[in-house]
Amino acid sequence: MSQERVVIIGASNNPDRYSHRALLLLRQHGHAVVPVHPKLAEIEGIPVVADVALISGPVDTVTMYVGPAISSGLQDRLIALKPRRIIFNPGAENASLVVALQKAGIACEEACTLVLLSTGQF
């Protein structure tokens, strides 16, 4: 298992939210997580970044837990971040954003991060 640096857009401190469950499972699988939320300071002791534009350094995967109303506004920042791939979790699908990201050379997939981790496909 190789460690990836994973950005979680739409991270939550609510244990009932899938983004929170993903944060815990990603850490359990040895990945470094970077939660992103504009109003939270920390989740599970991990500092939260308020905006994607504030992230520096290489990013392997972005896992998206926000809908098109929010994610469409992140297009330029996601392209500048240059992650290897972006996972659009159920409810976060955004076809027009996928087109722009793929044109920029970023792989995109519609999948569930929790399922990918649980089945060894992450």
pTM: 0.96
Using DSSP, state whether 41 is helix, strand or coil: coil
pLDDT of residue 1: 52
Q: What is the pLDDT of residues 13-64, one digit of tens each?
A: 999 999 999 999 999 999 999 999 999 999 999 999 999 999 999 999 999 9
Range 64-85 average pLDDT: 97
- Other beta carbons within 10 angstroms of residue 54's beta carbon come to 10
CA triple 53-45-16, angle to 5 deg: 90
- CATH number of the domain that 93 lies in? 3.40.50.720
* DSSP strand pairing (61-64 vs 85-88): parallel
Q: How many domains does the chain have?
A: 1
Domain that holds residue 58: 5-118
Range 84-99 average pLDDT: 98
Task: Check whether 5 has a pLDDT greater than 70.
Answer: yes
